[in-house]
Amino acid sequence: MIRVLIADDQAMVRQGFGALLAAQPDLLVVGDAADGAQAVAAARRLDPDVVLMDVRMPVLDGLAATRKLLGDNPAQRPRVLILTTFDLDDYVYEALRAGASGFLLKDAPAADLVHAVRVVAAGDALLAPAVTRRLIAEFAARPERHRPRPTELAALTPRETEVLRLIARGRSNQEIAADLVVAEQTVKTHVGRILTKLRLRDRAQAVVLAYETGLVAAGE
């Protein structure tokens, strides 16, 4: 059973999402929160697997709440799924850097919300190729002040480095497999090894790291 916490300052959103998720046999809504501070407190008390986190909330916004929840150990539970509007919120990229596992549009179809919760709970990132490309544009507009040393990537093999570059350019596993003329399962294996070696939780953090280390330059 996947335990879910919903954090949003709009009661109708909390109730609507809650009713939809509670109707699924494998999902259990363990609580909700009207602001980021409540979300952090509730997550620590209720131990959810996934937190649906709105970005713009009073008291503590979704970015700050994500940082507090994940702290220095982004591999720990819960996994955070950011709720955002169609035009990417200013904080979405920062939320991914803070350890969020992806984001979902608030006006997405109901089936997409259910799917998103399951994907994130399973340990994957909800980061479609089109979304990755938009994040790249966001990154290009916001050069980071603190950049990890490129030597962090030294543990990767040449093929793993190539796969990481393609991930950062917004390619899906299927597209990477076609580019490299290998089986899709082989790509999945490479992705898993990349995440393990770089101590990353999912594809979202891999994209962020690739740009921050300069492995891939925005706009190339």
Where is average pLDDT lowest: 27-31, 161-165, 174-178, 205-209?
A: 205-209
Domain 145-212 bears CATH identifier 2.60.300.12: no
Helix, coil or strand: residue 30: strand
Mean pLDDT of the chain: 84
Tokens of 125: 């990132």
Structural domain boundaries of the chain?
2-126, 145-212
Give the separation between CA 174 and CA 208, rounded to whole angstroms.
Answer: 21
Residue 76 has a pLDDT of 64
The CATH code of domain 2-126 reads 3.40.50.2300
pLDDT, tens digit, for every residue of 138-159?
666 665 555 555 677 889 999 9
pTM for the model stands at 0.74
CA distance 40 to 211: 29
pLDDT band at residue 86 under the 50/70/90 scheme: low
Q: Using one digit for the tens of pLDDT, what is the confidence trace for 44-63?
A: 999 999 999 998 899 999 98
Give the three-class secondary structure for 158. helix
Full DSSP string of 37-89: HHHHHHHHHH--SEEEEESS-SSS-HHHHHHHHHTT-TTSSPEEEEEE-SS--
- Which of the four pLDDT bands, split at 50, 70 and 90, describes residue 131? low
* pLDDT recorded at residue 99: 81
Q: If we measure between CA atoms, which residue out of 36, 188, 30, 193 comes closest to residue 121?
A: 30
- The yes-or-no verdict on residue 218 having pLDDT over 80 is no
Using the Cα atoms of residue 212, residue 95, residue 157 and residue 166 in order, give the sign of their dihedral: negative
Number of residues assigned to the chain: 220
Per-residue model confidence (pLDDT) at position 132: 62
Give the contacts of 19 (CB within 8 A, at least 6 positions apart): none
Backbone angles phi, psi at 103, to 5 degrees: -150, 160
